Structure 1
């Protein structure tokens, strides 16, 4: 019984499996058919949609082509209109050119006619000239026969007469013109210079070759001298200054030509007196420290000078050289004070003339910068200063003004003339400079000798401390007009042969005296 049941169950399972397989296969076939139908339907719809889009694209392309065609036709019409306008203009211009050509042709014909007339007249003039030359030659021969003079001799006499009269007239005209111009220029220049001098209020202190140092007591003199004079010798050796210790109470005199050395010695001596320790080693240390401090002070002095003048942007090395000018003198005039004075005068005169004030002040401040190193470099201080200014990037106008202020190079600009004038004003004013009596007397003698060397001069006198020379001429040898030429010749010779600050006035005097006696 158990075996039969098992067999039945197995058979039922097999039948079930067969039936399930058949059903599964039937369902798969149906699904495949449904999928194929769906795909066909999708493809058909896609084909229809593509055809519809194709139609729309074709319609849109036709519309765009129609619009593009319309725009092209419109542009062609505009171009055609422009071409017609230009063609019309060209036709008008062509007509105008034809008219001008006709006018030119007419003028050419007129010019040809005028040239023919001129040729005819020239021929007549030539014939007349030949006739006149023949007559002139005949007259010359008759004149030579009558006067007994050749043609060259007569021409020479006429030329001499004309030359004398012309020279006389030219001298008189020159005198009138130059006198008028000089009066106007002198008046204007005097106004400008007087205004500048009145506005400038700088102080002036004469530099000396000695410096006095006050001591706290007479006992300090012995300490400065030291045992067997070793302290004073050490101080003189370290500073290069002579110490004069005499009977003057509580005072030591420092003597040296260089103000810079005297300043170092003064500062060192004051520092030693304050410190109290005076011996050779201490002296050397103090002098070195003072030299370093003085170098800083020199730079500060240069910066203060540029600040006082109102000039900025100067190279630091030039600023240091400006500070050194405080300890340089020229004819006993402090060079830095002189440079500040020249800068101020330059600026004032530039303002009166409507020029660049800052540039004028810059040229005046730097004009003597070469004096800071002229004891180290050979050559005129003006050219040395110009080289320094060029080295440190100053402008060409400033360099030329520095180089030309003593006429080592020709004056070529208004700025250089202003600088030279301000330099002369600062150096020539009373009390600014000192010079040896021998040089002063020699200059006056040379001035008088130059004036007397001219023909017709009887006497010459240098007056006004050499600022003016008055020349007396013989009235029989020199006429009124010739005095003007003589005055100019004397001035030119003085300029060439003498060196002097400022300017020298030359006055030529001609007079005729009649003396009678009543008895």
Structure 2
């Protein structure tokens, strides 16, 4: 029993001792962990301080770099502004220089006028002196007459007055004639100076209009695809565009012949698309021609916009801009109408500036003076009157409208712009190589051929090809039968034979096509 108790006490004492030892060990471990934690915390704090210093340095460096970038951008903006300011200053100096020249010119003109005025005053004084001497001579003459002839003073006075009147009239007429001749001479010299200076300041190119275009091919194999089976493709292209396609032995090229540049351009672009795409058949041809026609309409509007922007003309009605674009595809006596109008506008601007008029208004009238030559439908009115009516319709100023209508003397000139437009139009058209009368008469003959065919019932389209030696007439199948087609061809030939004069022969070909179209849904 005692032994057991002893063992229990020993075990309890050992357990207590073990717990104490464990607690001591645990406390040592805790203290070591705390020390390690404190050391680790100090290392972390130190590392964080280092990291914060590094980040702070990086941020400061970035801030400096950003500051430098902003400074450079600011300096660039300032330099650009300074450059613009310098440009504006240069423009102001140039304008001031031109203004000084103009003022000097006005001063010279004033001095010239003053000199002429002084000369006129001197002549008047001379005339007065002559009058005084004539009065004295009259008195002496009167006394002598009274002494010699024994005439009364009244009779002598009448005779003297008659002789003096004749002498005064002669002197006055001589003086007036000299003054008029001198004024005419100076005015003619000044006008020549202005016109010559204007022509020298405007550089122009000579315009030559052709009636054919060459379409280049990659190989001669494409010619067969363009012609098609039994020629159906080439006939479809000619019917859709009104252009004659000449396929001959010329290597890798075919020729497009037509007097209308718009039709020729549509045919050229359509052929380019068809050859590039590779699908060439009648249905595809019609689709491509329609798309190309719309593209040409858009290009006409774009050409009009570029023209008015280049000339610095603002506020034009969109309809007038489109009319200006159409002038690119028209010619007058072989001279491209748009190029001619641009040239006239520049000449008018320079001449108006020389004469002290509004150059912008003169440019506007010069550009629009021939818009009556490009109507969408034929009109019996002269092109100047038609252009004036369009200008009035689309809100142009009365001076511009009068200048357009009066540049061929169809209406009376009521503005100073009108003679300027007339003169500049003559300058542009009269220079060597500008116009060719032969081309214009040739195109007019082709148009007359087409108009004769279009006057007959059932005719939808008419195209003059082969330089006017052949007229192809496309009729509506619902209105003209096969039997009537032959009769129509004969009637057109007789009409041409009686109403027109032309070299050689004209072949009339009437084309009638019947289509059956259904849609599968």
TM-score, reference length from structure 1: 0.51
Q: Which residue of 2 aligns with 1:198?
A: 200
- TM-fit CA distance, 1:211: 1.3
| Distance of 2:195 and 2:309 partners within structure 1 | 24
Q: Give the aligned CA root-mean-square deviation in angstroms.
A: 3.2
- 1:308-328 per-residue CA deviation (whole Å, 9 max, x = no partner) reads 111010000110000000001
| Distance of 1:177 and 1:437 partners within structure 2 | 49
Q: Provide the secondary structure at the position in 2 that maps to 1:188.
A: helix
CA contact (8 A) 1:213 1:266 kept: yes
| Distance of 2:177 and 2:227 partners within structure 1 | 72
| Distance of 2:239 and 2:315 partners within structure 1 | 39
Q: Which residue of 1 aligns with 2:99?
A: none
Q: Which sits farther off after the overlay, 198-207 or 228-237?
A: 198-207
Q: Which residue of 2 aligns with 1:361?
A: 363
Q: Which residue of 1 aligns with 2:214?
A: 212
Q: Provide the secondary structure at the position in 2 that maps to 1:321.
A: helix
Q: Which residue of 1 aligns with 2:248?
A: 246
CA contact (8 A) 1:342 1:426 kept: yes
| Distance of 1:202 and 1:271 partners within structure 2 | 34
Q: Provide the secondary structure at the position in 2 that maps to 1:253.
A: strand
Map of 1:253-264 to 2, 5 A cutoff?
253-264=255-266
CA contact (8 A) 1:204 1:337 kept: no
Of 269, 284, 298, the residue aligned with 2:271 is 269
- TM-fit CA distance, 1:381: 0.2
Of 230, 233, 236, the residue aligned with 1:231 is 233
Map of 1:290-309 to 2, 5 A cutoff?
290-309=292-311
Call closer, same or farther: CA 1:177–1:215 in 2, change over 3 Å. Answer: farther
CA contact (8 A) 1:374 1:380 kept: no
Call closer, same or farther: CA 1:438–1:320 in 2, change over 3 Å. Answer: closer
CA contact (8 A) 1:405 1:417 kept: yes
Of 175, 182, 185, the residue aligned with 1:183 is 185
**Which consecutive unaligned segments of at least 5 residues does structure 2 have?**
1-151, 160-165, 442-521
| Distance of 1:215 and 1:173 partners within structure 2 | 78
Which structure would you say has the larger Rg? 1
Map of 1:58-207 to 2, 5 A cutoff?
176-207=178-209
CA contact (8 A) 2:246 2:256 kept: yes
- TM-fit CA distance, 1:410: 1.8
Q: Which residue of 2 aligns with 1:280?
A: 282
Of 351, 373, 385, the residue aligned with 1:371 is 373
Q: Which residue of 1 aligns with 2:400?
A: 398
| Distance of 1:225 and 1:183 partners within structure 2 | 69
| Distance of 2:258 and 2:188 partners within structure 1 | 44
The structure 1 segments of at least 4 consecutive aligned residues displaced by more than 4 Å after TM superposition are 172-178
Of 334, 340, 343, the residue aligned with 2:342 is 340
| Distance of 1:438 and 1:179 partners within structure 2 | 42
- 1:137-193 per-residue CA deviation (whole Å, 9 max, x = no partner) reads xx9xxxxxxxxxxxxxxxxxxxxxx9xxx99x96x8787455433322222122212
Q: Which sits farther off after the overlay, 264-273 or 337-346?
A: 264-273
- TM-fit CA distance, 1:291: 0.5
**Which consecutive unaligned segments of at least 5 residues does structure 1 have?**
1-131, 140-161, 440-519
CA contact (8 A) 2:328 2:338 kept: yes
Q: Provide the secondary structure at the position in 1 that maps to 2:295.
A: helix
Q: Provide the secondary structure at the position in 1 that maps to 2:250.
A: coil
| Distance of 1:175 and 1:284 partners within structure 2 | 74
- TM-fit CA distance, 1:379: 1.0
